[in-house]
Structure 1
Amino acid sequence: MDSAGLRYTDGPTVEVDVLIDAPTEAVWELVTDMSLPSRFSGEFQGAEWLDGATGPAVGARFVGTNEHPAIGTWQTTSTIVEYQPGRCLEYAVQDPAQPAARWRITLEPEGDRTRLRQWMRIGPGPSPLRSAIEAAPEKEARILDRRMSELRRNMTATVRGIKELAEAARGGPA
């Protein structure tokens, strides 16, 4: 999408992917560790399961901690809204009916390798980003463009980090 046309109400998305020289089962074990991305992301600091949950399942909730130089540190509660073991994990941030964002991780076998995709959509629910846009609506496209670039950078670092871990465990390229 052209950054001049970016609008929060359109639910802008980011998607990154990487091909990993490791079987799907090995990659799945890594992507279901909800705190693992904190090793690679400059923003995400970690997650903890809530309500006695010990891993992903539809309806399971976790609290994630993030940090950004312009905002500081904040936490969000997310709910797993789709879970297909070995294939897909999706969660909604804050209110599942009107999420601040949705995040999805999918795995697709490609021979003895695995395609890892991480996708996210902003909105439609309330968020600090939406509040910043409401405070300066004339800067909406620029605010979104900057945020989407930050998200893409962190997501790319995360999928590459997972690739390195999975391939190192297998004894493949790292």
Structure 2
Amino acid sequence: MLCLVTVAEAPYAFGWAVYGEDPETSPPLAHWRYDLREADRPDATVVCQSFTHGAGDSGVRMAQRAEPDRAEAILRERLAQLRRNMTATIRAMEASVRNDSGGLDTLAERHGTGPASDVHPCSRRTLPTG
């Protein structure tokens, strides 16, 4: 796998494309991105992680072709896996923010966008501050 940065707008966005083959000749398998924005509260920042399947021939597409009668279930399983993994990643970020410097800190403060709060469903999170 090869990942190429596609978005780098510090401190608000970072994204990359994942390639299984030469990016000069093959489409990406997936696109990943993090966006940070101010929350409704002045002491919070919303962190949103997103994933989009690319045009490349991913493992999901290969599995669906191999088992066309299970195509819908295969996609549901992959989406559930992505949701679990994305949630785990955001929670790990939150834990890191909480543990750095022995107290509450925020990704947003480190990036100059202000503080961050509690959990939102799936991959959207607001990181807490003290």
Q: Distance in 1 between matches of 2:31 and 2:68?
A: 23
Task: Count the aligned residue pairs.
Answer: 99
Higher relative CO (CA 8 A, sep ≥ 6), structure 1 or 2? Answer: 1
> Which piece of structure 1 moves more, 92-101 or 112-121?
92-101
What residue is the counterpart of 1:14 in the other structure?
A: none
Percentage of pairs with the same residue: 31
Q: TM-score, normalised by structure 1?
A: 0.52
Q: TM-score, normalised by structure 2?
A: 0.67
Question: 1:140 Cα shift?
Answer: 1.1
Question: 1:123 Cα shift?
Answer: 2.8
- Choose the corresponding residue for 2:38, options 77, 87, 109: 109
**Larger fraction in strand:** 1
Question: 1:163 Cα shift?
Answer: 0.9
Q: Distance in 1 between matches of 2:45 and 2:95?
A: 13
One-letter amino acid of the counterpart of residue 37, structure 2: E
Q: Distance in 2 between matches of 1:123 and 1:158?
A: 21
Structure 2 gap segments, 5+ residues each: 105-127
What residue is the counterpart of 1:4 in the other structure?
A: none
Q: Distance in 1 between matches of 2:9 and 2:54?
A: 23
- Choose the corresponding residue for 1:99, options 4, 7, 28: 28
